[in-house]
Structure 1
């Protein structure tokens, strides 16, 4: 895979063991699990590097607090109701030297405004247009390498004042609590939280995709399905006959348990969220990619098709979601893409209340292919490396050493 069109990176930061911060503010975005996993990977690298001496102050990131508490983030504060002066005083009380912020542009810019230097982590640099808020002036901007950058995002990235390219960001591999369990599958849903979705539209997506995938699992002889994501497994909207024929468990799992479920699964069907795709690849597990819900997932699924194998990627059938149109008109922004896709998903769910037969066939075909070919997602990390978390810490330490 040839990488092209990337704005010139800064010189790589040199590892430093003398500039360990005593206190950091940390934050992700508030709409999903992706930034939480990324932040957990970076915090894990900081703690390993500094033997757990750094204190962390968590800001906002409500959905991720239970996960991040397991990474020694015990002090939390909400900033939405604080004035700039109150935020500045909060950081001073906790002796915060800098902040690591993942995919929360608004908070990153606000922290810089009150005098707190920010190391910003962006895993989707290929997506941005003038329609999105990008914190171009933060102290250090760490963009995760990707196979290629569409020309549409070049002007935005050229405006970043301190751009550093890093490898893919994933946490350490777990030590599985046991061997792979025959007949066990994981069904992972990501991307369910967004300002542009409603409870009804999310339920429509879950009903269409879970019905299709559970039907495929049953046809392929799987007996146990662990459902993961920000949802309750026992409330998954699937037909009663499927629910009674399969042993379904799971739900909102702690990160270590989630990774262990992945490591011991015979196969994984997952939404095309970048962090989870990379984690599955690092574990060497075979996988199937579920239909996307937003623009970033369309692009990540396309990457799997290009680098791994298109036969394990399930797309929306004709007459449901027009993925090609979303990709063609991506310049209209992510919010437009999400609203449009979920509108089409809701319409499809109303048209096919018992599920889309063609979608179930596509899921079954992809599942059978992945099992037969032993197709894993490992090639995704091979393209750009997977040491991004350590590289972010190097950049943080390099800045603190020079400050």
Structure 2
């Protein structure tokens, strides 16, 4: 995607693969999180897929705390049967009951417990995240917030009628809040179209300097290492990668069910109120969680419809303004003392090496010595 840069002279107007049958060995070899499709080239941050036969961003081909050793072990597993890895999205699919590697999240909803207890070969592993390119220099407490990364991933869900509703509400609110907070440089990334990115850049309030466009995974990690704060739709891998770098992270309003849980994990772990929720007249999270008792699809439908209605409202400008106020209030907490790596520490980041070792063990091979 072509990068779009600049700042406007006027202020904006407010405005699965399916698991193989138990009696058949997979023909392709791939170590990947269960539910991530293969067979397509990898995409940039937001809407990522893994190339065939390789670990992709945040996948088994990149070791977290396991370092290069995890990558070497991942290289060894090609040609061996796949072991499904659930990346912690509740509820757990009942189709994954034979063998499962699952990240050890801080908490899981009660609905998961029966299914988890029924898995005969369940093994808890740490998170699968990319290796940070360089250590983050110094702490973040008290330093001015001048350079920020804004990341929007997971926008184009298959059942979502209009994926632009979420960014059309959230991005203008984010840019308005960042300008009011004194931020100067913004890196906006995610699976957004070039036209939509250009519109956001053109409407960005002065004095923001906004650079927008998709980023490869390594470049995204490099941007994280050099920024003062991250504002992100709360995907779990993104939160863990930022945490492993000690980056102050603000969770934007959720766009799906798992992001509600992820944002709560982050807020509870770091002990700072950096979770931004939707205004009550747009969406109540408690209503979503109650609807989830009928099934995840019902909860997702409630979220998607609520965001779509809000974007189509005649007073959408008021929704954007309310979101901007909430984001600005949460931004102020990013300057407070907090353990920004607490979630990554609680979950661990050595999952890539652990998954590779499990696959080698299933194939009857010994892990290489590090």
TM-score of the superposed pair, with normalisation by structure 1: 0.70
Shift, 1:269, TM fit: 0.4
Indicate how the Cα distance of structure 1 residues 240 and 385 shifts in structure 2: closer, same or farther if over 3 A, else same: closer
Q: Residue 189 of structure 1 contacts residue 271 of structure 1 at CA under 8 Å; is this kept in 2?
A: yes
- The 2-side partners of 1:375 and 1:287 are apart by 11
SS in 1 for 2:128: coil
Render the CA deviation track for 1:59-103: whole Å, top value 9, x for unaligned.
xxxxxxxxxxxxxxxxxxxxxxxxxxxxxxxxxxxxx322xxxxx
SS in 2 for 1:341: helix
Q: Residue 122 of structure 2: which of 158, 163, 184 is its match?
A: 163
User: Which residue of structure 1 lines up, in the alignment, with residue 16 of structure 2?
Assistant: none
Q: Residue 394 of structure 1: which of 350, 357, 361 is its match?
A: 357
* 2:191 equivalent to 1:220: no
Indicate how the Cα distance of structure 1 residues 53 and 362 shifts in structure 2: closer, same or farther if over 3 A, else same: closer
Q: Residue 61 of structure 2 contacts residue 75 of structure 2 at CA under 8 Å; is this kept in 1?
A: no
Q: Residue 88 of structure 2: which of 105, 119, 124 is its match?
A: 124
SS in 2 for 1:354: helix
Q: Residue 77 of structure 2 contacts residue 359 of structure 2 at CA under 8 Å; is this kept in 1?
A: no
- The 1-side partners of 2:170 and 2:132 are apart by 28
Render the CA deviation track for 1:302-340: whole Å, top value 9, x for unaligned.
112222235111011110012111112223333322221
Corresponding pairs, count: 316
- The 1-side partners of 2:298 and 2:128 are apart by 27
More deviation, 23-32/163-172: 23-32
Render the CA deviation track for 1:123-169: whole Å, top value 9, x for unaligned.
126422xxx453212xx410110112222112222222321111122
Indicate how the Cα distance of structure 1 residues 334 and 34 shifts in structure 2: closer, same or farther if over 3 A, else same: farther
* 2:316 equivalent to 1:353: yes
Render the CA deviation track for 1:250-291: whole Å, top value 9, x for unaligned.
322111100011111111101110000000000001121100
* 2:141 equivalent to 1:141: no
Indicate how the Cα distance of structure 1 residues 56 and 193 shifts in structure 2: closer, same or farther if over 3 A, else same: farther
Q: Residue 267 of structure 1: which of 229, 233, 246 is its match?
A: 229
SS in 1 for 2:62: helix
- Which sections of structure 2, spanning at least 5 residues, go unmatched? 1-27, 38-42
Task: Give the alignment of 1:73-222 within 5 angstroms.
Answer: 96-98=79-81, 118-124=82-88, 126-128=90-92, 132=93, 134-137=95-98, 140-175=99-134, 183-198=146-161, 200=162, 202-222=163-183
- The 2-side partners of 1:175 and 1:281 are apart by 14
Q: Residue 187 of structure 1 contacts residue 226 of structure 1 at CA under 8 Å; is this kept in 2?
A: yes
Indicate how the Cα distance of structure 1 residues 213 and 189 shifts in structure 2: closer, same or farther if over 3 A, else same: same
- The 1-side partners of 2:59 and 2:201 are apart by 37
Indicate how the Cα distance of structure 1 residues 316 and 329 shifts in structure 2: closer, same or farther if over 3 A, else same: same
Q: Which has the higher helix share?
A: 1
Q: Which has the higher strand share?
A: 1
User: Which residue of structure 2 lines up, in the alignment, with residue 340 of structure 1?
Assistant: 302
Bigger RCO (CA 8 Å, 6+ sep): 2
- The 2-side partners of 1:239 and 1:284 are apart by 28
* 2:353 equivalent to 1:370: no
Indicate how the Cα distance of structure 1 residues 150 and 169 shifts in structure 2: closer, same or farther if over 3 A, else same: same
Indicate how the Cα distance of structure 1 residues 286 and 310 shifts in structure 2: closer, same or farther if over 3 A, else same: closer
Q: Residue 383 of structure 1: which of 341, 346, 365 is its match?
A: 346
